[in-house]
């Protein structure tokens, strides 16, 4: 049973560039959430997608945008990269309106370095 798959695992970009990160949710999950984890800190919620729409959004600027496809996979796009965007980006999937005791399933993350 495949868990959450994220690609790429590592990425180096230059300030001002744009980046796209990808996530395939766990089988049977239809909701995808994205988190940003800076070094030494806990993950921070970016946004959540369900039924191809953004349902919840954290305190992140519009430079951060996303998309969910009919097969429930998702992309995170970041425009005009800043040095401060360097972080581990985590994707988590879940059944919507989580009611099972299983918690969220996280991918291994994409390590983004902006130089």
Partner 1 sequence: SQQGEEDPQALSIQEGENATMNCSYKTSINNLQWYRQNSGRGLVHLILIRSNEREKHSGRLRVTLDTSKKSSSLLITASRAADTASYFCATDWYGNKLVFGAGTILRVKS
3 state SS of 114: strand
Beta-carbon contacts of residue 23 (< 8 Å; ≥ 6 apart): 4, 5, 6, 32, 34, 73, 74, 75, 76, 91, 93, 107
Beta strand pairing call for 31-37 and 44-50:
antiparallel
Cα maximum dimension of the chain: 42
- Which of these ranges, 12-20, 34-42, 61-69, 72-80, lies near partner 1 under the rule CB under 8 A? 34-42
42 touches partner 1 (CB under 8 A)? yes
Task: Find the shortest distance in angstroms from Cβ 16 to partner 1.
Answer: 26
- Which of these ranges, 16-24, 39-47, 60-68, 69-77, lies near partner 1 under the rule CB under 8 A? 39-47
Site string for partner 1, 83-112 (x = CB under 8 A): -----x-x-x-x-xxxx-xxxxxxxxx-x-
Instruction: Name which position in 58, 65, 75, 79 contacts partner 1 (CB under 8 A).
Output: 58
Instruction: Name which position in 55, 67, 113, 115 contacts partner 1 (CB under 8 A).
Output: 55
45 touches partner 1 (CB under 8 A)? yes
Distance CA 65, CA 45 (A): 13
């Amino acid at each position: 049973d495949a868990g959450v798959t994220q690609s790429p695992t590592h990425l180096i970009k230059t300030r001002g560039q744009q980046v796209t990160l990808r996530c395939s949710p766990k089988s049977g999950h239809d909701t995808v959430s994205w988190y940003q984890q800076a070094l030494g800190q806990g993950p921070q919620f970016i946004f959540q997608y369900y039924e191809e729409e953004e349902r919840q959004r954290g305190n992140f600027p519009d430079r951060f945008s996303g998309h969910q496809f009919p097969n429930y996979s998702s992309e995170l796009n970041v425009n005009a990269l800043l040095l401060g965007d360097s972080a581990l980006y985590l994707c988590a999937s879940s059944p919507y309106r989580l009611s099972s005791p299983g918690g969220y399933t996280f991918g291994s993350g994409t390590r983004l370095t902006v130089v």
